[in-house]
């Protein structure tokens, strides 16, 4: 698999969109009347959370593909998707806590279903890597990890729908009918920010896959070089010895 194909162009596009998003956040989007400049963390926190959840579901879809094909490449894709999404989810929790402290005066609000549900999803996926690496056999590891990714990935949209049906909430609903009340400058900036974070996720996903694929090829080549002398057997007396 040539994971590095198009990676340079993708990296340049990601850098450009991230730059545009930063300019829009700090110079185009207006200040919130109540929260002031701290509200601008919204353009980082919410896209991180959305992309992380989409990444978790992507890992489940790739898990289905791995069970059907049995290929280790699909398992690696699923693993990297979940691994990166955990990093993005961690960043979403950190930025969300900073925003909550500035807005509500508390780092965390336990009676808010959006926050608690996202934390549950995060903790669920924190079990993925310990489960995966507790299995030494590569085929069993890939199979069990795929089953976990599928089950957890199916839980994400179910959990999302349950939270959307909750009536009591403090956390603002971004993707809802009230989104239309958001000023156009804020909404455009929000969409560009989601695109920037999404591109960052895809770029990092391809970078890590390229690195892991190159590492696996290097290990196979090294193993082949180590096995060749053993396959030829010991050198006979008739074979010439090359000396410098």
Structure tokens belonging to residue 173: 């609903």
- In tens, the pLDDT along 112-155 reads 777 888 888 899 999 998 988 888 888 899 899 999 999 999 88
Do the beta carbons of residue 132 and residue 141 sit within 8 Å?
yes
Residue 195 to residue 47: CA distance in whole angstroms: 8
- C-alpha pair distances (Å), 36 with each of 16, 29, 171: 27, 11, 17
Give SS3 for 35.
Answer: coil
Structure tokens belonging to residue 109: 């609000």
- pLDDT at 3 > cutoff 50: yes
User: What is the mean pLDDT of the segment spanning 75-98?
Assistant: 93
| pLDDT category of residue 4 using cuts at 50, 70 and 90 | low
- pLDDT at 17 > cutoff 60: yes
DSSP state of 181: G
User: How many Cα neighbours within 13 Å face the side chain of 213?
Assistant: 16
- pLDDT at 35 > cutoff 80: no
- In tens, the pLDDT along 223-242 reads 777 776 656 655 555 544 44
Residue 133 phi/psi, 5-degree rounding, is: -85, 0
- pLDDT at 1 > cutoff 80: no
What would you measure as the largest C-alpha separation in the chain, in angstroms? Answer: 90
* Percentage of residues in the chain having pLDDT higher than 90: 40
Q: Where are the domains of the chain?
A: 41-209
User: What is the mean pLDDT of the segment spanning 22-42?
Assistant: 84
- C-alpha pair distances (Å), 150 with each of 28, 103, 118, 173: 40, 36, 18, 27
| pLDDT for position 159 | 76
- pLDDT at 243 > cutoff 60: no
Given the structure tokens 């599928």, which residue do they identify?
Answer: 150
| pLDDT category of residue 163 using cuts at 50, 70 and 90 | low
Residue 175 phi/psi, 5-degree rounding, is: -90, 80
């Amino acid at each position: 698999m040539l994971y590095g194909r198009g990676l340079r162009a993708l990296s340049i596009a990601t850098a450009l969109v991230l730059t545009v998003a930063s300019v829009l956040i700090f110079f185009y989007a207006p200040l919130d009347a109540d929260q002031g400049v701290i509200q601008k963390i919204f353009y980082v926190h919410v896209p991180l959370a959305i992309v992380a959840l989409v990444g978790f579901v992507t890992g489940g879809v790739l898990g289905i593909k791995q069970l059907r094909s049995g290929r280790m490449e699909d398992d690696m894709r699923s693993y990297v998707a979940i691994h990166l999404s955990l990093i993005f989810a961690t960043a979403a929790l950190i930025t969300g806590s900073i925003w909550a402290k500035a807005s509500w005066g508390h780092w965390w609000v336990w009676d808010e279903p959006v926050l608690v549900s996202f934390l549950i999803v995060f903790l669920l996926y924190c079990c993925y890597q310990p489960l995966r690496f507790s299995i030494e056999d590569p085929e069993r590891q890939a199979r069990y990890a795929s089953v976990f990714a599928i089950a957890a990935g199916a839980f994400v949209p179910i959990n999302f729908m349950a939270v959307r049906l909750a009536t009591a909430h403090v956390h603002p609903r971004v993707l809802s009918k009230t989104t239309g009340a958001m000023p156009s400058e804020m909404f455009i900036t929000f969409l560009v920010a989601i695109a920037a974070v999404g591109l960052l996720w895809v770029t990092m996903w391809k970078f890590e896959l390229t690195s892991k694929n190159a590492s696996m090829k290097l290990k196979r080549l090294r193993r082949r070089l180590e096995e060749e002398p053993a396959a030829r057997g010991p050198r006979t007396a008739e074979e010439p010895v090359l000396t410098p």
